[in-house]
Structure 1
Amino acid sequence: MKPPRRILLAITGATGMIYVTALLDLLAGQEVEVHAVISDAGRKVLRLEENLAPEELSGISRWFAADDFTAPPASGSACYEAMLILPCTVGTLGAIAAGCSANLIHRAADVTLKERRPLLLAVRETPLNRTHLRNMLDLHDAGAIICPPMPAFYLHPADLHEMARQFAGRLCDLIGIRVEGMQRWEGV
């Protein structure tokens, strides 16, 4: 029997925790093992927006402390298929673009890039300044996928949860996980 695919989910302190719960709901029906790390600010925003502690999120099989540089994601030999930073603060974006590994999230992203594995950053900030844009371009050039949480309204989401689900489905597509039943554009 083939082992499940493993991905790493990093949660930082930007707004947008609705996307985290939507992603985990979609992944629950897949053969995917989700490992996760959350920043201190991420913990606070998760509580503020979703009234949840990280341990209450369903679908995560293993948690790592953000300050644990001995955790498996700190090494390329851990072989995660992809890493998603959802939501991604511009501080995290800047640290990764500069190659600064101040915590496990930064280090794991650096490892993901050096191993040429998919790294998705759902950067959540507006408006963007020149530094943000330059950091995005630098990471794009390094192989990352910059995917800000921008909903597709042409699919006419009925509510915020459906909107978040559609975006989470797009993230799944970008890491090669095809979720059946996702509404897709079929033309006019």
Structure 2
Amino acid sequence: MSVKRVSEFAKLMSDEKIVLILKVTNVSEGVTAKKISEKAGVPVSQLYYKIKKLVDAGLLEIVNVKSVKNLQEYYYSSAGFRDANQEFDGNEMDVSAAWVADHSDEVAQWLLYTNQRFLDSLQYDTKMYGKATDYKQQIHSSYLTDTAQLSKEAEDKLFNDVRKLLQDAEKNDKGKDKQTINFIFEKWMER
């Protein structure tokens, strides 16, 4: 993916209205512009340009068109982007460098989208609970960063251990009030 294309996508993801549109449309049956406006609190007149940009970027698709009197009503969904990128979610999938090179646009979009979802959650938590005395009980977002000097074998073992730890935690959870928890485990080397 070109630097220009990544920066265009990053700019899209930094727009709060874009993030709201993606959240509201994250249903497979789609949502009309009027419903997006109501749920996101964004005037319809401010939506169409943003919706077009999202459709052009492949983040939003038209999943249904209904005729209402003499007009066509479009139903937009971002669920297809989420569903199409489930293969990137780390569930036992290793991809080759050649595959990533052939799909670099999708990989970059998915990474930026996932990180934007994390940032959105973190901002919400700190806004809502940052001043609460029991904030550790309330906050659902956290961030950990660290650096390690590892051999390739130790790196592979670490990734497998983290994957197993997550699987075991889910399997051994006896609690009744379960919710979806998202994790991003990224690694990179300075170039």
TM over 0.5: no
Larger radius of gyration: 2
Length-normalised TM-score, structure 2: 0.24
